């Protein structure tokens, strides 16, 4: 049986009913296979899945579709040469799926001026005559609160084994996205951070104290500058013309529903406003977030 041809045919069939394109399903399948090989390799505990693919998989592929794969690299050196060696070993790990191969390229150091560093590169998954490139980032030096979690990643096709990988906590996911907002303020091009926190707040419950601790430790670990008014400034971006243009462009580019940016910043205020006040007043936030009512 020609497994490559069979997989491509099944992914095309799936695309007809899912509302997502064949290219998206093919990319998710290639990313899934990389995670499968990671889970079978000796680096399974060194790479912690985070970012858009983590969220996308966690919600059964209902959140924002993503092109990149992001990891925290831990307990092992993280130079460009180290990353190249690690990735080479992972993609050569037998998974029983010989019909898909990977090429790796474009390894480079990212954000060398920051206190957290990393390596980015490109993988290209090849099945039959298809070539599917996607970017991968290995971040170094970040912290996870309260702890990493083991999760099964849903598969594109049910005949394949779900990869079990180490993932970020949702608390640290929110914390890093909030940190990115504080760093870039109105200069940001990362409107995905606003959408992702909005989506997370509407989907998952939280222990407020754990979320506060994740935000505090992330800001401290990354050396991020802020003052009492920083959060209010972020919320005021709903009336900033340049930010509204960026938001509309983001929605068009990602093909997401037309959500008003004021609704997003309003929920952001409800979700993180109390925690922010507790942080700047050196207090503790002990409430519980209910995603159904979007309230504490």
Residue 60 corresponds to which tokens in the numbers above? 């059964």
What are the tens digits of pLDDT across the range 123-139?
999 999 999 999 999 99
Q: Is the model's pLDDT at 176 over the cut of 60?
A: yes
pLDDT of residue 169: 96
Q: Which of 78, 89, 88 is closest to 111 using CA atoms?
A: 78
Residue 140 corresponds to which tokens in the numbers above? 């170094």
CA atoms within 13 A on the CB side of 111: 11
pLDDT of residue 20: 86
Q: Which of 220, 53, 57 is closest to 141 using CA atoms?
A: 220
Residue 215 corresponds to which tokens in the numbers above? 């935000």
Q: Is the model's pLDDT at 232 over the cut of 90?
A: yes
pLDDT, average across residues 225-248: 93
Q: Identify whether the C-beta of residue 35 lies closer than 8 Å to the C-beta of residue 17.
A: no
At 183, the pLDDT band (50, 70, 90 cuts) reads confident
What are the tens digits of pLDDT across the range 19-58?
889 999 999 999 999 999 999 999 999 999 998 889 888 8
pTM: 0.90
| DSSP states along 219-255 | HHHHT----TTHHHHHHGGGG-HHHHHHHHHHHHHHT
What are the tens digits of pLDDT across the range 7-18?
999 999 999 998
CA–CA distance, 199 with 264 (Å, rounded to integer): 9
Residues 6+ apart with CB under 8 A from 6: none
Residue 204 corresponds to which tokens in the numbers above? 């998952």
At 64, the pLDDT band (50, 70, 90 cuts) reads low
At 116, the pLDDT band (50, 70, 90 cuts) reads low
CA–CA distance, 108 with 235 (Å, rounded to integer): 35
Q: How many CB atoms lie within 10 A of CB 285?
A: 20
At 208, the pLDDT band (50, 70, 90 cuts) reads very high
CA–CA distance, 112 with 295 (Å, rounded to integer): 39
Q: What percentage of the chain carries pLDDT values higher than 70?
A: 95
At 113, the pLDDT band (50, 70, 90 cuts) reads low
């Amino acid at each position: 049986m020609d497994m490559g041809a069979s997989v491509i045919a099944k992914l095309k069939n799936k695309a007809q009913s899912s509302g997502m394109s064949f290219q998206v399903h093919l990319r998710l399948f290639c990313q899934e296979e990389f995670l499968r090989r990671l889970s079978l390799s000796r680096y399974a505990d060194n790479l912690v899945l985070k970012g858009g693919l983590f969220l996308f998989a966690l919600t059964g592929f209902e959140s924002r579709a993503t092109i990149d794969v992001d990891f925290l690299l831990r307990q092992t050196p993280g130079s460009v040469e180290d990353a190249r060696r690690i990735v080479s070993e992972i993609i050569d790990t037998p998974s029983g799926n010989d019909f898909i191969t990977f090429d790796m390229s474009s390894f480079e150091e990212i954000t060398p001026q920051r206190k957290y560093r990393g390596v980015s590169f490109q993988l290209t998954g090849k099945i039959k005559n298809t070539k599917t490139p996607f970017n991968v980032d290995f971040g170094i030096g970040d912290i996870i609160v309260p702890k990493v979690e083991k999760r099964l990643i849903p598969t594109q096709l049910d005949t394949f084994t779900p990869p079990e990988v180490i993932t970020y906590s949702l608390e640290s996911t929110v914390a890093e996205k909030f940190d990115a907002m504080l760093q870039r303020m109105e200069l940001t091009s990362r409107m995905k951070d606003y959408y992702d926190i909005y989506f997370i707040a509407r989907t998952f419950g939280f222990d407020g104290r754990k979320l506060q601790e994740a935000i505090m430790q992330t800001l401290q670990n990354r050396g991020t500058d802020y003052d009492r008014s920083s959060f209010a400034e972020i919320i005021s971006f709903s009336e900033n013309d340049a930010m509204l243009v960026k938001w509309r462009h983001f929605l068009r580019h990602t093909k997401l529903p037309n959500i008003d940016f004021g609704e997003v910043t309003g929920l952001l205020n409800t979700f993180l406003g109390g925690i922010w006040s507790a942080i700047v007043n050196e207090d503790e936030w002990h409430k519980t977030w209910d995603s159904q009512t979007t309230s504490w």
